[in-house]
């Protein structure tokens, strides 16, 4: 158990809708990273939040947005859902630094119909 929880575990939405995914961070961690994982690929970096500020972003459009709260938990919001957004969304909490291990939640499986 990593102490990182994600909700919901599964979600079905239709094209054009909006979705919010949530992630708690492990005690003592101030950084949350979000990843999109499609079958057969490694996780793709969406963005990272460090002390409530966005700290870098991958190659995802602006309709992917996020928040980090004072307790370091985080949300990922996706607007105007597209079919290609169907994937497993993982969050990971850590301390800040290249040598710090990531602690992952179990993921949210999003299906867009």
Which of 104, 108, 110, 112 binds another protein (CB under 8 A)? It is: 104
Take residue 30 and report the two structure tokens written for it.
Answer: 């101030």
Q: Rule CB under 8 A: is residue 52 a binding residue for another protein? A: no
Q: Rule CB under 8 A: is residue 98 a binding residue for another protein? A: yes
Take residue 69 and report the two structure tokens written for it.
Answer: 């709260």
- Provide the edge-to-edge strand list for the sheet that holds 74-78: 6-7, 19-23, 74-78, 64-68
Instruction: State residue 83 phi and psi, 5-degree precision.
Output: -55, -35
Which of 16, 56, 77, 79 binds another protein (CB under 8 A)? It is: 56
Interface stretch with another protein, choices 9-17, 22-30, 60-68, 98-106 (CB under 8 A): 98-106
């Amino acid at each position: 158990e990593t102490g990182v929880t994600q909700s919901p575990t599964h979600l079905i939405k239709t094209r054009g809708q909006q979705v919010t995914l949530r992630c708690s961070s492990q005690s003592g961690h101030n950084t949350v990273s979000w990843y999109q994982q499609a079958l057969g690929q490694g996780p793709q970096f969406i963005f990272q939040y460090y002390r409530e500020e966005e700290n870098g972003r991958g190659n995802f459009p602006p309709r992917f947005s996020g928040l980090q709260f004072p307790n370091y938990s985080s949300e990922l919001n996706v607007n105007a859902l597209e079919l290609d957004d169907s994937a497993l969304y993982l969050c990971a909490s850590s301390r800040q630094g290249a040598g710090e291990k990531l602690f992952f939640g179990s993921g949210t499986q999003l299906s867009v119909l």
